[in-house]
Amino acid sequence: MRDNFATGPGPIWGPWVLFTLALSLLPICIPSWLPAQHPPFIEDSSVRGITVYTSSVGTFGSGLALVDFDSDGDPDLIATAVGSALKILENDGAGYFIDRTPPPGTFPIVNPSCVAAGDIDGDQDLDLYVGCHNSPDAILLNQGDLNFTPHTWTTPTPTPLATRTTGVTFCDLNGDQWLDLVVSCGSAVGQQSWNQLYYNDQSGFFIPAPQPILQLVEPTFQIMPHDYDLDGDLDLYISNDRGIALGFVNRFLINNDSVLGTYFSNISSVSVDSMGVCTGDINLDGLPDIYVTNTTSPHPLLINRGNFVFEDLSVEYGVNEGGVSWGCLFMDHGLDGDLDLLVADSSLPDRFFEQGQTTPWEDMAPELGLNVQNFSSCWVKGDIDNDGDIDLINQSSFDYLKVFLHPDMPDANYFKFEPLFMFPNYHAIGSKIEVYGNNMKPIFFDQKTTGRHYKSESEWIFHHGVPEGHLIEMVRVIYPDGSKRSFSSVPMNKKWKLPHQHLLGDEDDDRKFPFTEFFEFCTMRTTSSNPIQSGFEFYDFDANFVIDSFDLLALVEKAEWQQSDCNGNGVMDLLEIFLGDVEDFDQNGVPDSCNPNFIRGDLNLDLIADVADGILLLEFLFLDSPISCLSAADLTTDDQLDVADFAYLATFLFSAGSPPPMPFPICGSDFSILSCESPPCP
């Protein structure tokens, strides 16, 4: 018999009591493998200042670029709109947009259809390619602060290249670190409508590179660069329409030592009506997987098995169904540490498949408010309001752009990483990133490429969640030249730049190291009250997110600053100053305790200030006669020597004026930038 701990009668478990108890226990009983529930997005375009109407008659979508074009840390928006319009909107840092569109006729653009960003001239600004429908394409050079100018980017031809441009990507295909250009042209009529490859001549001018293996008569919508075989260079995946009726297959061009070759497979080269493609390593095996949109089911999900062997698991993952679909993207919507899938559709509502612990994935678009109902074509992602979660912008034909923001601050841990390389590929296009949690558990693998969303460009930031219970144990970046850096103890919930070794101590890559940077570096020293902040990453030589003595010594060696030890205690002066063990108020790189002793006004070093010193000062000012202790001549203590110093000394000597400032009349030191090479005092 069970013991009764109550003092009165036992409880009466009526049906309503049991029902109430069951409700209270329901959250505990929900299986952990179900996708986390998140509040729906808020459509906020008009409030945010985005009132852009798009029509895509014959162009099958109007591209967007949600990218930081003015280098101020937040994504701006460039949109192809009605007619010949190109809308340029500046993010104010809080997610509200200011229209910076120039007057009509500024750019030679007619019927813009797609966009891609890339630094084509190596000046660190992101330039813009605008692909047009049955009109010549254009490149706009970024002159800074969202000011763009038309650029003659390739050799003019007697017949303008008026093609149906459907996609663009900048990528380095020949290994010289300059961004080359791949243009997909979806028409199958005439040579000008063939896909095109251009090599950068290392100035931002592009030379046509005939590639018979690329320039086939095929209706291509998108070409996706990625290192699919993990050999260190970018391969191309070609997404072709009309595969069902006419047999145009999707295919790979494999890059082997900067030479493009082909590879066909019955599985990897699926034959569907393919429009958009997106890549992501959904199973964290280090191999990029591919999702392909179609006009009917199935929409293939190609799981990469290595060596260009792919397996379509769209049915198993539950992502095979859909109507006439266009753009797609992978993202970690809930910041729970895995990739979800968003798909645009023109005949059915858009779909958002959320990854859980089991398959199939669940379409959460209705619950999240992302089930766009009309002719949806393009999606881009980025942290628009800089609050830590991933926001979205949708383009649908004959409608205004829609801006979907998360209503709350993120309640999960996340990271935002931006690898940076060196000139001319400062933005590290082609770099790979690997993120590991506790006990080196894989969290995220990806590669930085451009034009990776249908006709569009998303924010150039690796933004992803950290699984619950995990910290970031290590981040490894493989840069475009194949070199690697491993970052440890990475703080979460911040945006960090991950610079190549070449950029350490030299963020702007100008190879100049003025000594004033030393004192700026001293303010970065990590303490309990001064944790590492954004911008300090360029001085973290050992990549442990702590600015300490190791980083100082590395910086001094790289900058080739003087390594003196004025007091002979065996510790470098700059290290003592950095650690705060000594003071250096005059910021001359020498501890103040080592500053020379002198008497102010004693220019001839006889330990008194008199008329002879005044004569020496006049000869210095007007005859360029030398003075060995300049600090002694600075009577006004303004670190300058001029007539005012003589006037001060003369007033003291002849008119009973105020005596010189300390040190006077006995020896002492002073915090001055002026030298004193032969001090008279012991």
The pLDDT-based confidence of 269 (bands split at 50, 70, 90) is: low
pLDDT of residue 38: 66
Percent of the chain with pLDDT over 90: 71
Residue type, 541: F
DSSP string, 364-399: -HHHHT----S-EEEEEEE-TTSSSS-EEEEEETTE
Smallest CA-to-CA distance from 131 within 69, 60, 207 is with 60
Structure confidence by residue, pLDDT tens digits, 459-469: 999 999 999 99
Contact between residue 534 and residue 386 where contact means Cβ atoms under 8 Å apart: no
Of 84 and 166, more confident: 166
pLDDT of residue 513: 93
Query: What mean pLDDT is predicted for residues 267-292?
Result: 89
Q: Residues with Cβ < 8 Å from 75, sequence gap 6 or more?
A: 66, 67, 68, 91, 382, 383, 384, 459
Specify the residue for token string 């098995």: 305
Contact between residue 109 and residue 87 where contact means Cβ atoms under 8 Å apart: no
pLDDT of residue 164: 84
Give the integer Cα–Cα distance in Å for 430 and 173: 10
Q: Residues with Cβ < 8 Å from 120, sequence gap 6 or more?
A: 127, 139, 141, 153, 170, 178, 179, 181, 200, 204, 206
Query: What mean pLDDT is predicted for residues 169-185?
Result: 96
Structure confidence by residue, pLDDT tens digits, 623-675: 999 998 999 999 999 989 999 999 999 999 999 999 999 999 998 887 677 87
Least confident of 34-43, 147-156, 364-373, 474-483: 34-43
- Phi/psi for 595 (5° steps) reads -65, 145
Q: Residues with Cβ < 8 Å from 546, sequence gap 6 or more?
A: 489, 526, 532, 540
The single-letter DSSP state of residue 198 is: E
Domain boundaries, the chain: 42-151+163-405, 414-452+460-567, 595-682
Give the integer Cα–Cα distance in Å for 416 and 406: 17
Using the Cα atoms of residue 498, residue 503, residue 507 and residue 513 in order, give the sign of their dihedral. positive
CA distances from 126 to 112, 305, 624 (A): 19, 35, 52
The pLDDT-based confidence of 600 (bands split at 50, 70, 90) is: very high
Does pLDDT of 4 surpass 50? no
Does pLDDT of 24 surpass 70? no
Domain 42-151+163-405 - what CATH class?
A: mainly beta
Does pLDDT of 457 surpass 80? yes
Does pLDDT of 21 surpass 60? no
pLDDT of residue 37: 58
Give the integer Cα–Cα distance in Å for 588 and 586: 6
Structure confidence by residue, pLDDT tens digits, 63-75: 999 999 999 999 9
pLDDT of residue 525: 97
pLDDT of residue 70: 97
Residue 123 backbone zone (phi > 0: left; psi -120 to 50: alpha; other: beta) = alpha
pLDDT of residue 189: 60
Give the integer Cα–Cα distance in Å for 313 and 116: 30
Give the integer Cα–Cα distance in Å for 463 and 334: 11
Query: What mean pLDDT is predicted for residues 82-108?
Result: 91
**To 5 degrees, how large is the angle CA 238–CA 239–CA 240?**
110
Query: What mean pLDDT is predicted for residues 32-45?
Result: 71
Query: What mean pLDDT is predicted for residues 523-537?
Result: 96
Does pLDDT of 182 surpass 60? yes
The pLDDT-based confidence of 402 (bands split at 50, 70, 90) is: very high
Give the integer Cα–Cα distance in Å for 411 and 389: 9
Give the integer Cα–Cα distance in Å for 388 and 464: 10
Query: What mean pLDDT is predicted for residues 202-227?
Result: 90
What is the CATH topology of the domain spanning 595-682?
Type 1 dockerin domain (1.10.1330)
pLDDT of residue 8: 39
Query: What mean pLDDT is predicted for residues 107-123?
Result: 94
The pLDDT-based confidence of 326 (bands split at 50, 70, 90) is: very high
Structure confidence by residue, pLDDT tens digits, 471-513: 999 999 999 999 999 999 999 999 999 999 999 999 989 889 9
Give the integer Cα–Cα distance in Å for 306 and 556: 45
Cβ burial of 195 (10 Å; 0-12, 13-18, 19+) is buried
Percent of the chain with pLDDT over 70: 90
Q: Residues with Cβ < 8 Å from 417, sequence gap 6 or more?
A: 433, 435, 461, 462, 475, 495, 496, 497, 498
pTM: predicted TM-score of the whole model, two decimal places: 0.84
Q: What is the mean pLDDT of the chain?
A: 89
